[in-house]
Structure 1
């Protein structure tokens, strides 16, 4: 790989993709296409600096914008990891995850110089609310998705994989589960937020359900392995046109994760109030109904209840065999890295407030 373009490279996964590419012995030129520049990486958690990355402002919902960046960079590999976060409206998901992905795929196929495209999908593409035990890539995609996010990721992945081989461009999809790590603004911060609301005493379900949480650096590692395999004449046949589940290969009981995080923060709940799945689903239905009446996106949803209470762990043998993938950061090490990053961010925010107050006082 001489040049790699990361579409959505300024986001959570993007920073870790840059890091994995930067650490390669044969380091490629690293380019980022996004609507905003990548944030400055902390030397505590990343080896690269912004000087090691070339940023190109662009919009994946505009084919002209994508084509202009492609012509400027002329990459061999494109990694498409752009996606809105959970909790946004259906319209934005379709605009980015479906229309935007089609634009990326079509522009890459028309370029004449891009050889491979790696797409960031999600393990939830096969999730319908029921248990997934040791699920692998042979499991079917449900006819009806649980929510707009998953519906659009299914459509995006389908278009990417069906476009494999178009004008000589080989493609594959990475399906990660339960992402967390430095840069995480959702999963671990959400679990920490529960400390502030005294919500640690509540438990949805019986906590006998196993769940796959995945450190973000491992997911970035899998993307780079996939790109390398797509360019390898000996490996491309087993990877092109294929999806791959990626996890830490260490499923845990769901509430083990937040309780581990709380324990590292010095907090252990004295007692637990258990709420059954049916009760949770009823309350979530009422939440969705109320949010619909108010014209806003529901935060407590039936999908989230099902997600929390279901067994949801995956067999990653295919990634091990085809990509030579194995996790490079363990689960607890990943938790410690994430908490250290959050503490570092909190310290920076506190220092910024002090500076602002001092300036006002002057």
Structure 2
């Protein structure tokens, strides 16, 4: 449906990240005639450098911060397409609101302005379902679509930063470039992303090892999510990039937002952990540690304590009301619009995604046991 990216120069921000480095890998594997590929991050990771060494291509590595306008201007000069994945992801509140907004929102705004000044034609933003919710009332969504009206009263800084940045990206669509052309933008909202290299999955694995080989029950069984494999998220970005290059599809996706998910069965976060770790002999707790209302009360008390202690020292609650709602609210979506407008179809089936992720988990088990001093 979409033309390949022959001759297109691409900048990927956040190239060392979980999603960013998979996008880089897929571009190198799929686009033989790609123009220069620029990969930007504050710190370039060893896995990213290893990927780049495998391909004899025109790759330019850039170390810098999205808050640095001068650096962004140099990075964007001569680029046709920007894929903006760089962001701070913080579900627990360890990062201050000022830092979160300066990177996720204001960094995106600076990058958009540099794109306009540098005549960048296309801009793809990696958003999140947390730009939508769940809201503070824990209202569920079942097979949601992009036109669904949802009372999005967000109670956490990360979701707000992604929501505001996404709005900035969509507003920038059609802005006049210095050369008289116009910027084409779109936003992709992945659901919860799993796969090899997931820091969240490694955290859950560590907790399971410390819990006698049993995953903690962090979400009710009936609280369904539709997780998406990281390889399919990367493929959605490549699909969107190809669609932007084709004038016929570019008109369809310009200024639009798209949910990105795949055919992974809808299940709770805890049951996803179990599905990925079952073949490794890992179990999952049958129920939450205590009834949900008591957990909510406990989270509220810890948040009050954090507020009262703030003048003396920074206490970050291990459990917040937002995190509890996020993990225990049914929140599922459809990728029909992405299929209709840009031809997106998942490249990896659930079985393949599960097998690849489980194999990665098995590969890190010895190291995790050693570091956690577990026999």
Deviation for aligned residue 1:271: 5.3
Structure-2 residue corresponding to 1:190: 203
Which one of the candidate residues 125, 128, 132 is aligned to 1:122? 128
Deviations 1:235-254 (A, max 9, x none): 01110000000012334220
Which one of the candidate residues 109, 124, 128 is aligned to 1:102? 109
Any stretches of 5+ residues in structure 2 without a counterpart? 177-181
* 2:83 counterpart of 1:79: yes
Which one of the candidate residues 50, 72, 84 is aligned to 1:66? 72
How do 1:219-230 and structure 2 match up within 5 A? Answer: 219-230=233-244
Contact 1:40 1:49 in 2 (8 A): no
C-alpha separation in 1, matches of 2:32 and 2:101: 37
Deviations 1:144-173 (A, max 9, x none): 312000000000000000110112110000
Any stretches of 5+ residues in structure 1 without a counterpart? 353-362
C-alpha separation in 2, matches of 1:192 and 1:208: 22
Q: Cα gap change, 1:299/1:273 in structure 2, threshold over 3 Å: closer, same or farther?
A: closer
Structure-2 residue corresponding to 1:10: 16
Q: Does the residue aligned with 1:327 lie in a helix, a strand or coil? A: coil
C-alpha separation in 1, matches of 2:285 and 2:74: 58
Structure-2 residue corresponding to 1:356: none
Deviation for aligned residue 1:139: 2.3
Deviation for aligned residue 1:288: 2.2
How do 1:104-183 and structure 2 match up within 5 A? Answer: 104-112=111-119, 114-127=120-133, 128=135, 129-140=138-149, 142-167=151-176, 168-183=182-197
Q: Does the residue aligned with 2:61 lie in a helix, a strand or coil? A: strand
How do 1:292-307 and structure 2 match up within 5 A? Answer: 292=307, 293=309, 294-307=313-326
Deviation for aligned residue 1:51: 5.7
C-alpha separation in 2, matches of 1:212 and 1:201: 19
Q: Does the residue aligned with 2:47 lie in a helix, a strand or coil? A: coil
Structure-1 residue corresponding to 2:179: none
Deviation for aligned residue 1:123: 1.1
* 2:245 counterpart of 1:240: no
The normalised TM-score by structure 1 is 0.87
Structure-2 residue corresponding to 1:358: none
**Count of aligned pairs between the two proteins:** 346
* 2:257 counterpart of 1:250: no
Q: Cα gap change, 1:305/1:229 in structure 2, threshold over 3 Å: closer, same or farther?
A: same
Contact 1:219 1:246 in 2 (8 A): yes
Contact 1:130 1:310 in 2 (8 A): yes
Q: Does the residue aligned with 1:252 lie in a helix, a strand or coil? A: coil
Q: Cα gap change, 1:13/1:338 in structure 2, threshold over 3 Å: closer, same or farther?
A: same
Structure-1 residue corresponding to 2:54: 49
Deviation for aligned residue 1:274: 5.8
Contact 2:132 2:152 in 1 (8 A): no
CA RMSD of aligned residues (A): 2.6
Greater shift, 8-17 or 201-210, is seen at 201-210
* 2:305 counterpart of 1:290: yes
Which one of the candidate residues 283, 300, 306 is aligned to 1:268? 283
Q: Cα gap change, 1:194/1:179 in structure 2, threshold over 3 Å: closer, same or farther?
A: same
Contact 1:89 1:297 in 2 (8 A): no
Q: Cα gap change, 1:143/1:209 in structure 2, threshold over 3 Å: closer, same or farther?
A: closer
Deviation for aligned residue 1:262: 3.4
C-alpha separation in 1, matches of 2:115 and 2:263: 33
Deviation for aligned residue 1:337: 1.7
Greater shift, 33-42 or 10-19, is seen at 33-42
Greater shift, 127-136 or 170-179, is seen at 127-136
Q: Cα gap change, 1:271/1:313 in structure 2, threshold over 3 Å: closer, same or farther?
A: closer
